[in-house]
């Protein structure tokens, strides 16, 4: 992700991360990244977990020991199959996550991260926030899926998405509303009614995602 001459730093799915996100983190990177102690990848993991808790979400344990790539040549060759597309449904979500060891329940829990942040048309092509307070990590995303009515719209970049008929300005992607299909809907209903259940499952799925493919991680620096 640190390299923009090739590899993950050039993938469309990661637009905004190499310049905007890593730019915000640069002062912390300069101060704390130390080979053999804390890597760039470890720092990104830690900051994501701290940010989640600061925004009202659950405390997430962080383990350390990830290795950084030395150049873009060590990157994966393609973004295909690594992240889901926002304009596709549940079959696509399963195609992306099941081979990596994630269950349907994990898919719904991870989708709940859309309770914060927003889509930027200059990066993903989609535009808008999923919830009214994009800086609060709670179960509003699931409540919105169940309680609001959405209609088709097209972003300024020509991407199909859904907007709240009530005029709140919030959106959903096709992939978000596909969670209304069974058996995903039952999990959405559970999380909408029980934030603690969502938080518990989110931590489990999120840590699995952060540690996927990582061996020999340690509990402390």
Secondary structure, 3-state, 70-130: CCHHHCCCCCCCCCCCCCCCHHHHHHHHHHHCCCHHHHHHHHHHHHCCEECCCCCCCCEEC
Nearest one of 112, 116, 114 to 51, comparing CA atoms: 116
* Helix or strand holding residue 144 (H, E): helix 140-147
Residues 6+ apart with CB under 8 A from 177: 145, 150, 162
How far does CA 14 lie from the centroid of its chain?
A: 11
Two tokens, residue 172 = 């959903």
Is a pLDDT exceeding 90 seen at residue 168? yes
Q: What is the mean pLDDT of the chain?
A: 96
Residue pLDDT, tens place only, 78-121: 888 889 999 999 999 999 999 999 999 999 999 999 999 999 99
How far apart (Å, rounded) are the C-alpha atoms in residues 6 and 79?
Answer: 12
pTM exceeds 0.85 for this model: yes
Residue pLDDT, tens place only, 128-153: 999 999 999 999 999 999 999 999 99
Q: Indicate the pLDDT class of residue 34, thresholds 50, 70 and 90.
A: very high
204 strand-pairing partners? none
């Amino acid at each position: 992700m640190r390299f923009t001459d090739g590899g993950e730093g050039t993938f469309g799915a990661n637009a905004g991360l190499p310049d905007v996100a890593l730019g915000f983190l640069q002062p912390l990177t300069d101060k704390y990244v130390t080979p053999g102690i804390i890597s760039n990848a470890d720092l990104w993991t830690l900051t994501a977990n701290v940010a989640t808790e600061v925004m009202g979400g659950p405390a997430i344990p962080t383990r350390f020991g990830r290795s950084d790539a030395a150049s873009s040549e060590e990157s994966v060759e393609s973004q295909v199959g690594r992240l889901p597309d926002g304009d596709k449904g549940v079959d696509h979500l399963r195609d992306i996550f099941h081979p990596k060891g994630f269950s349907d329940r994990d898919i719904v829990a991870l989708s709940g991260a859309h309770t914060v942040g927003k889509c930027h048309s200059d990066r993903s092509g989609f535009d808008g926030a999923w919830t009214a307070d994009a800086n609060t990590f709670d179960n509003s995303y699931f409540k919105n899926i169940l309680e609001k009515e959405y209609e088709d719209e097209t972003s300024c970049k020509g991407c199909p998405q859904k907007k709240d008929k009530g005029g709140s300005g919030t959106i959903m992607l096709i992939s978000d509303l596909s969670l209304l299909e069974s058996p995903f809907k039952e999990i959405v209903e559970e999380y909408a009614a029980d934030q603690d259940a969502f938080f518990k499952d989110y931590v489990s799925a999120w840590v699995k995602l952060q540690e996927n493919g990582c061996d020999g991680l340690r509990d402390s620096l």
